[in-house]
Amino acid sequence: MNRYFLDLHIHIGRTLGDQAVKITASRDLRFFNIVREAADRKGIDIVGIIDAVSPPVLSEIRDLITAGELVPLPGGGLSYQNKTTVLLGAEVETTGPHGGAAHFGIWMADVPAMQEFSDWLAMLITNPVLSSQRARCSALQLQEKVSELNGLFIVNHAFTPHKSVYGNCVNRLSEMLDVSKITALELGLSADSQLADLFSEHDNLTYVSNSDAHSLAKIGREYNRIETAGCSFTDVKQALLRQDGHRVIANYGLAPKLGKYHRTYCLHCEEVVQAEPPVFICPMCGGKRVVQGVIDRVTAIADRTVSKSPVHRPPYHYQVPLEFIPGIGKKMMDRLLAVFGTEMNILHQATEQQLRETAGERIARDIVLARTGQLELSAGGGGKYGKALESE
């Protein structure tokens, strides 16, 4: 078995022909830019491009295969220079049974399967080019189609207050989905395994921690490490389903406090609420105009009061991305990459002494403190990230 870094949620901002795909994503997030960034700077072994369902993006992928830039793998997926595997995905929105809406990540083994899914989806959405369009079908019907095409079905950012199963639709997965047909559940940027394991219905599910990248810099801000025979689509599927010794061996995610929606946020006071969760009314002004925090929502609806992880659950490592470390701007990032090669090497391999020689004592110390979960953080909420505080 081999070990690979995996990030299964990267958006495309624009096509090569400058068509918008994910409206809120950076224009620099173009297909080949993503692949090169993941391979050469980030050090991510397997990347999932979640807007590959868009017809012009599929056309670009075909052109890259024809040009030999991408090579189809026997088990599915596309290889770039034997460095990084690209998986083809779609983010689809469906309405909840009682209102609201949730996003799901759909993954296919190859271009023909994704083309078939794209054609089916185009009949159910308003604009097939754009990402994350609402489909005129239920989540159960979406699961059936994915199952028919032997794809992966992932519950995206499951707890966030907008566009998620728990944050926006239902209290239990089973109210909206066939739990047996869920490949994995994505924790999102404001939750971790400990919070998610307050729900007993997750006991047989694998968790994934993905970047949901809307810019090149955000690729790999959350990721996973898997242990598999290879890095094809089939290997990833087996890892998520824990088959034949394939498995996720670690989740690396933002410390939940850094997430944009960790705590409830008062829109009137424009402040993150610090009171004991759950909080749904601002204790400062008494107002109800709040953005519900993930920890507040989970505390209110979970069926456990104490988190209980199944034996298959891997460790969750709190991650502070380099761009969150005070003092690491573009120039410092380029200097670190010139010495250590990729962000994965900086985050996981470089010693404090090596980091000190390149970045100075304070930045080196903060990177090491972040690795061990000792860097002081302020909580995020209401769409604003938390902050890593500079050490003394």
Residues 286 and 224 in one domain: no
Residues 128 and 162 in one domain: yes
- Ranking 114-118, 126-130, 346-350, 371-375 by mean pLDDT, the lowest is 371-375
How remote is the C-alpha of 43 from its chain's centroid? Answer: 16
- On whether residue 377 sits in a domain, the answer given is yes
**Domain total in the chain:** 2
Residues 267 and 367 in one domain: yes
Dump pLDDT digits (tens) for 253-285.
887 777 788 889 889 888 888 888 898 888 888
Residues 284 and 382 in one domain: yes
At residue 116, does pLDDT exceed 70?
A: yes
More confident call, 46 vs 43:
46
Q: What is the pLDDT of residue 390?
A: 67
Residues 129 and 264 in one domain: no
- On whether residue 314 sits in a domain, the answer given is no
Dump pLDDT digits (tens) for 137-164.
999 999 999 999 999 999 999 999 989 9
Q: What is the largest CA-CA distance in the chain?
A: 61
Q: What is the pLDDT of residue 348?
A: 79
Q: Which of 35, 114, 87 is nearest to 236 (CA)?
A: 87
Q: Percent of the chain at pLDDT above 70?
A: 99
- On whether residue 33 sits in a domain, the answer given is yes
Structural domain boundaries, residue 124: 2-254
pTM of the full structure = 0.89
Listed residues 211, 233, 254: the one ending a domain: 254
Residues 10 and 66 in one domain: yes
Q: Phi and psi (nearest 5°) for 333? A: -60, -45
Q: Which of 284, 329, 277 is nearest to 298 (CA)?
A: 277
- On whether residue 166 sits in a domain, the answer given is yes
Dump pLDDT digits (tens) for 318-338.
877 787 888 888 888 888 888
Listed residues 234, 254, 274: the one ending a domain: 254
Residues 12 and 96 in one domain: yes
Dump pLDDT digits (tens) for 1-37.
999 999 999 999 998 889 999 999 899 999 989 999 9
Residues 245 and 354 in one domain: no
Dump pLDDT digits (tens) for 223-264.
999 999 999 999 999 999 999 999 999 999 887 777 788 889
Q: What is the pLDDT of residue 333?
A: 87
- On whether residue 282 sits in a domain, the answer given is yes
Q: What is the pLDDT of residue 189?
A: 80
Residues 223 and 303 in one domain: no
Listed residues 212, 238, 254: the one ending a domain: 254
Tracing tokens 């505080």 back to the chain, one arrives at 389
Residues 273 and 372 in one domain: yes
Read off the CATH number of the domain in which 169 is found.
Answer: 3.20.20.140
- On whether residue 391 sits in a domain, the answer given is no
Token pair, residue 340, equals 């250590």
At residue 391, does pLDDT exceed 70?
A: no
Residues 331 and 196 in one domain: no
Q: What is the pLDDT of residue 165?
A: 97
Q: Which of 249, 257, 132 is nearest to 189 (CA)?
A: 257
Residues 240 and 270 in one domain: no
Alpha helices, DSSP H, located in 319-383: 330-340, 343-348, 352-359, 361-371
Contact 173, 143 (CB under 8 A): no
- On whether residue 158 sits in a domain, the answer given is yes
- On whether residue 51 sits in a domain, the answer given is yes
